[in-house]
Amino acid sequence: MSETEQPPTTPERPPAPPEPVPGPVAEIAAGYAFEGPALDLGAVLWDGVCHPDARVRIPLPVLNRHGLVAGATGTGKTKTLQLVAEQLSAQGVPVFLADIKGDVSGVSAPGRDGEKVRERAAQVGQEWTPTGFPCAFYGLGGIGPGVPVRATVTSFGPVLLSKVLQLNRTQEQSLGLIFHYADSKGLELVDLKDLRAVVAFLVSDVGKPELKGIGGLSTVTAGVILRALTAFEQQGAAGFFGEPEFDTAEFLRTAPDGRGTVSVLELPSVQEQPQLFSTFLMWLLADLFHDLPEVGDLEKPKLVFFFDEAHLLFKGASKAFLESITQTVRLIRSKGVGVFFVTQTPKDVPADVLAQLGNRVQHALRAFTPDDAKALKATVRTFPDSAYDLEEVLTSLGTGEAVVTVLSERGAPTPVAATRLRAPESLMGPVDPAVLEAAVKGSPLYGRYAQAVDRESAYERLSADEAARSARAAETAARAEREKAEREAAKKAAGTERARAPEEEPSLVDQVVGSGMFKSLARSIGTQLGREISRSIFGTARRRR
């Protein structure tokens, strides 16, 4: 070959055309092509292949239509909460999260780059940037890290307290009667000792007549309530009730840069008291419902509230309790609050509540036992018809994958989509305890709520009344003893005088005064006068009690 000759060149192959998107994937993707602001959850999975251009999203305005995040342990529910909370915060929506295991605090710090994160981002078409989000940390009653969250017993109410104390229906009704009495008498139930004092008073000889006209309080029921309160306090729960009472409006704050504040309730220190923290979460939600005005449908929610370990809330719940939950969930939507229940399977949530949850993120389920298989079939029946074999898909999903269906902008359910979820941009794990403590101490709310206050309430008032009754009884007894001694001394002196003087015929005045008719009239006038004075002196004290 001469120097001027060139070797034959191999013609370049044109780039391979992209693999066609399967028809069902295109249909699913079309169902999530919203025009307005939305949260990105991930990309559609079909036959084990992730399609990054087929995005799965939730419209921002429908997040007040509530939702459910479910799945077996270890399937990635917590990371899903973190992913949604980040995007809500970025859109200016405040978020409430309950941190049961202590690993949600990382939402306040930028995430760590790594091979797994980059791989997941590439799979779902995500531009991943490590980002921390504005957070506020709270703790129940000052136990563990966080600004203390307390409630007064009065505001907590008999229905929620009955759930915590595990009272039956009759005992719950009796507790309601106790609250009614305390409210009508202006006895403030700030902490548990106030409630105990009122119960003890109502079964005492002095207090029993107070409820006689409206059913009364049996000694047996009062004993059950008092024993339940004692056991409750022995679990260290007394600190959850008291003042200053937490203002749930603090959850609606935004950061100076316009992002929504993520309020994290740290619960690892009380995770062995599931009845307590789940019921306390319900109080927070009920308090928000009570205070917020009606606003209808907004462009974005005022708050999204994630209710973790929701099955604990419904377990063993009374009919009145379930009715209260259902009513709260149904009506709080119009106040701009979205509620997401987080649990293992949809069957953990009562049907009336489940019917209110329009947005669904279902992680993998396991079918190792007959009960598991039954739960799987029940879960599949809660989804709309889909192009998937959901029983197979739900048992084959990996960590960080879920089956999703949400409400569209016009309120209709979107197609069911098996989804590979995006990676959170914040730290997927807890922050350093020292960092957490510094964030808590630096919070503007710390000075407002950190120190418990024990002011005069029902316990002090009833104790003062009891002391006053005891003092009056002692004074009455002492007066009676003095009067008896004076009568005996006068009688002895009169006898001595009569022995010295000769007997005289009684005068007409003496005869009249000594007659039985005069003595009867005098006793009648004296008794009537005594009753009027007693009513005048002690009537106010009884009304005050």
Degrees, nearest 5: CA angle 111-112-116: 110
Residue 527 inside a domain? The answer is no
Domain for residue 329, yes or no?
Answer: yes
pLDDT at res. 84 = 97
Phi, psi of 498 (to 5 degrees): -65, -35
Cis omega before residue 444 (within 30°)?
Answer: no
Q: Are residues 27 and 60 in the same domain?
A: yes
> Could you tell me which residues are beta bridge partners of residue 340?
67, 306
Number of domains in the chain: 2
Structural domain of residue 230, as residue ranges? 151-242+456-488
Contact 200, 182 (CB under 8 A): no
pLDDT at 213 (0 to 100): 74
State whether 170 and 283 are in the same domain.
Answer: no
Instruction: Please give the helix or strand (H or E) that residue 353 lies within, else none.
Output: helix 351-354
Outline where 253-333 has alpha helix (H): 274-291, 311-314, 319-332
The answer as to whether 526 is a domain residue is no
Same domain, 316 and 347: yes
Decide: 150 and 244 in contact? Cβ < 8 Å: yes
Residue 310 CB neighbours (<10 A): 26
Let me know the angle formed at the C-alpha of 39 by 65 and 302, rounded to the nearest 5 degrees: 50
Instruction: Indicate whether 390 and 272 sit together in one domain.
Output: yes
Asked if the structure places residue 498 within a domain, the reply is no
Same-domain pairing of 37 and 97: yes
What's the pLDDT score for residue 502?
Answer: 55
Please give the Cα distance from 260 to 91 (Å, whole number).
Answer: 7
Last residue of a domain, one of 449, 479, 496: 449
Phi-psi region of 278 (alpha: psi -120 to 50; beta: other; left: phi over 0): alpha
**Do 433 and 313 share a structural domain?**
yes
DSSP string, 178-217: HHHHHHHTT----SHHHHHHHHHHHTSTTTGGGGGGGT--
Q: What is the predicted pLDDT for the residue at 103?
A: 85
In this structure, are 138 and 46 located in the same domain? Answer: yes
For residues 159 and 191, membership in a common domain is answered with yes
Do 431 and 470 share a structural domain? Answer: no
Q: In terms of domains, do 92 and 65 share one? A: yes
In whole angstroms, give the CA distance from residue 70 to residue 85.
16
Per-residue pLDDT 10s for the chain (545 aa) are 455 555 555 555 555 445 566 779 999 999 999 989 999 999 999 999 999 999 999 999 999 999 999 998 889 999 999 999 999 999 999 999 988 888 899 999 999 999 999 999 999 999 999 999 999 999 988 787 899 999 999 999 898 899 889 898 899 999 999 998 998 888 999 999 999 999 999 999 888 888 877 777 889 999 999 999 998 888 778 889 999 999 999 999 999 999 999 999 988 877 777 778 888 888 898 888 888 999 988 899 999 999 888 888 888 777 778 888 888 899 999 999 999 999 988 988 999 999 999 999 999 998 888 888 888 998 999 898 889 999 999 999 999 999 999 999 988 999 999 999 999 999 999 999 999 999 999 999 999 999 998 888 888 898 887 777 767 766 777 777 777 777 777 777 776 666 555 555 555 545 544 544 444 444 443 433 333 322 222 122 222 32
End position of a domain, from candidates 383, 418, 449: 449
- CB neighbours of residue 506 within 10 Å: 11
* 289: in domain: yes
Same domain, yes or no: 463 and 413: no
User: Which of 473, 488, 503 corresponds to the end of one domain?
Assistant: 488
Instruction: Let me know if residue 506 belongs to a domain.
Output: no
Is residue 13 a part of any domain in this protein?
Answer: no
Together in a domain, 29 and 122: yes
The sheet carrying 135-140 orders its strands as: 49-59, 38-46, 417-421, 401-405, 359-362, 67-70, 337-343, 303-307, 95-99, 262-266, 135-140, 147-149
Strands (E), 211-358: 262-266, 303-307, 337-343
> Whole-model pTM?
0.80
- What's 129's domain CATH number? 3.40.50.300
